[in-house]
Amino acid sequence: MKRFAIVGASHRCLSMFVRGLEGMRGKTLEFIAIYDPNRTRCEVFRKEVGDGLTIYSDYDQMMQTEKPDGVIVATTDNTHADYVIRTLRYGCDVYCEKPLTNTYENCLAIRKAEKESGKKVYVTFNCRFMPYFAKLKELVRSGVIGKIHSINYEYILNRWHGGDYFKRWHGMMEVSQGMLLHKSTHHFDVINWLLEDEPVSVSAMGLKSFYGNPERCLGFRCSQCDKTAECESYKSQSAPMDKALYFDAEHEDGYIRDRCAHRPETDIYDNMSVSVLYKKGTLLTYTLTLFAMKEGYNMTLIGEKGMIICHHFGKDGEEKQDYEIELLLRENEVEKITFPRAEGAHGGGDVKLREMMFGDPQPDPLGQAADSFAGVASAMIGIGANESIKTGRVYDIASALDTLR
């Protein structure tokens, strides 16, 4: 049984790992300790796990006292690298939330520390585990559409979901490096994994088109705003987990979860367009927009022998019941591949990831468990894209990845 410590008393960690792994606790793993500067949030975790979970206000003290076998890192994105590296140096495997990190220097430092430690970094890229993408991977791998020359991937979020990122730490470049890291790291990883290829170069454009507009800024925070009825990004803090983790804990560190999505100080983009060239000659055209009326994605893969169309949009805010992938091997002859919707968060991906990474050992025929190279390969597309937006030039990812092997 593996003894785990947690770094980051975050919402994600509570739902994905502590609650999500409840059935495995006492069998394949146990949670023994938690570190987060915010004690109130740690107490929420202890209530959930029990008195066996020791709370630490000092990370090194936790590692030295508890000597865990593994550490789950689920803090704000800008702090991942520090804990990943220090955990490796303590001789522990690390399970890090995405993105693995969000700067090139941190990518380099993580890869170096991993090699020196002989321990392993896993990145919890749950999209790879969605039955939808697993099916797509099988299709691509089967070679049915031949060599893939072109992928068009459009991802759009509605104003409630998209606006949510502007309410807290994600809205500041310094912390999240924006959505091309925080959100698109999933999407870039899925493409890298589907193609079994590496990105060579990226060029991008980005705008803050909708959020952070002082004319739309309705109030300091949702819970003190009297115009919530007219706001498409209104976020209530009434859900018990939100109240316990954020509202009741904000007196300690001033982390306010429901700030106005239109507060002017945010500096991330909400409207992005990215082109990526891959080593084997695939061109990816990707867009991410955070202020739509409906959310979902379109992905079209065009190959030598055929094409695959993925079209996945919510219906009245709900996800579609059945999943569908369209396969075309001749003009206008559409074969519909349908399969039932999977249960659980993130299209069923979270459940599968937990089974693979935290359950009894099992085969991984599709290569779904992501390592640190996958983490840096995906991150470098976002890092390069941000750089390209700033400079207006194409960013050379291949040279960066060569230093990260």
Ligand X SMILES: NC(=O)c1ccc[n+]([C@@H]2O[C@H](COP(=O)([O-])OP(=O)(O)OC[C@H]3O[C@@H](n4cnc5c(N)ncnc54)[C@H](O)[C@@H]3O)[C@@H](O)[C@H]2O)c1
Residue 12 near ligand X by CB under 6 A: yes
Tell me the C-alpha distance between 238 and 208, whole Å: 29
Q: Please calculate the CA angle 112-117-120 and round it to the nearest 5 degrees.
A: 90
Q: Which is nearer to ligand X, 17 or 395 (CB)?
A: 17
What per-residue string of b and e applies to 340-373 under the rule 16 or more CB within 10 Å gives b? eebeeebbbbbbbbbebbbeeeeeeeeebbbebb
Length of the chain counted residue by residue = 405
CB atoms within 10 A of CB 124: 26
Region 327-386 residues binding ligand X, contact defined as CB under 6 A: 346
Residue 9 near ligand X by CB under 6 A: yes
Beta carbon of residue 57, minimum distance to ligand X (angstroms, whole number): 10
* Main-chain phi, psi angles of 251, to 5 degrees: -65, -25
Q: Which is nearer to ligand X, 41 or 111 (CB)?
A: 41
Q: Report helix, strand or coil for 340.
A: strand
Residue 285 near ligand X by CB under 6 A: no
Tokens of 362: 């099992």
Tell me the C-alpha distance between 236 and 341, whole Å: 28
Compose the 106-125 pattern: x for residues touching ligand X by CB under 6 A, - for all others: ------------------x-
Q: Which is nearer to ligand X, 302 or 381 (CB)?
A: 381
Beta carbon of residue 328, minimum distance to ligand X (angstroms, whole number): 31
Region 15-44 residues binding ligand X, contact defined as CB under 6 A: 36-38, 41
Q: Which is nearer to ligand X, 306 or 359 (CB)?
A: 359
Choosing from 5, 10, 162, 323, the residue that interacts with ligand X (CB under 6 A) is 10
Tell me the C-alpha distance between 396 and 113, whole Å: 24
Choosing from 28, 65, 76, 152, the residue that interacts with ligand X (CB under 6 A) is 76
DSSP state of 231: -
The strand pairing partners of 283, in sequence order, are 150, 277
Point out which span in 7-15, 259-267, 303-311, 372-380 binds ligand X (CB under 6 A).
7-15
Q: Which is nearer to ligand X, 8 or 384 (CB)?
A: 8
Compose the 147-186 pattern: x for residues touching ligand X by CB under 6 A, - for all others: -----------------------------------x----
Q: In what order do the strands lie in the sheet with 121-123?
A: 54-56, 29-35, 2-7, 70-73, 93-96, 121-123, 370-371
Point out which span in 71-79, 236-244, 277-285, 320-328 binds ligand X (CB under 6 A).
71-79
Strands (DSSP E) contained in 269-371 are 271-278, 283-292, 296-303, 307-313, 322-330, 333-340, 370-371
Beta carbon of residue 125, minimum distance to ligand X (angstroms, whole number): 7
Tokens of 17: 């790992």
Choosing from 6, 30, 66, 77, the residue that interacts with ligand X (CB under 6 A) is 77
Residue 103 near ligand X by CB under 6 A: no
Tell me the C-alpha distance between 190 and 284, whole Å: 12
| Number of chain positions touching ligand X (CB under 6 A) | 21
Tell me the C-alpha distance between 199 and 160, whole Å: 32
Beta carbon of residue 257, minimum distance to ligand X (angstroms, whole number): 7
Residue 189 near ligand X by CB under 6 A: no
Q: Within 13 A of 210's CA, how many CA atoms are on the CB side?
A: 20
Choosing from 18, 74, 383, 385, the residue that interacts with ligand X (CB under 6 A) is 74
DSSP state of 264: T
Choosing from 86, 98, 259, 263, the residue that interacts with ligand X (CB under 6 A) is 98
Beta carbon of residue 188, minimum distance to ligand X (angstroms, whole number): 14
Beta carbon of residue 97, minimum distance to ligand X (angstroms, whole number): 4
Beta carbon of residue 312, minimum distance to ligand X (angstroms, whole number): 16
Q: Which is nearer to ligand X, 160 or 209 (CB)?
A: 160
Point out which span in 75-83, 218-226, 311-319, 395-403 binds ligand X (CB under 6 A).
75-83
Rg (CA), the chain: 21
Residues that bind ligand X (CB under 6 A): 7-12, 36-38, 41, 74-77, 79, 97-98, 124, 126, 182, 346
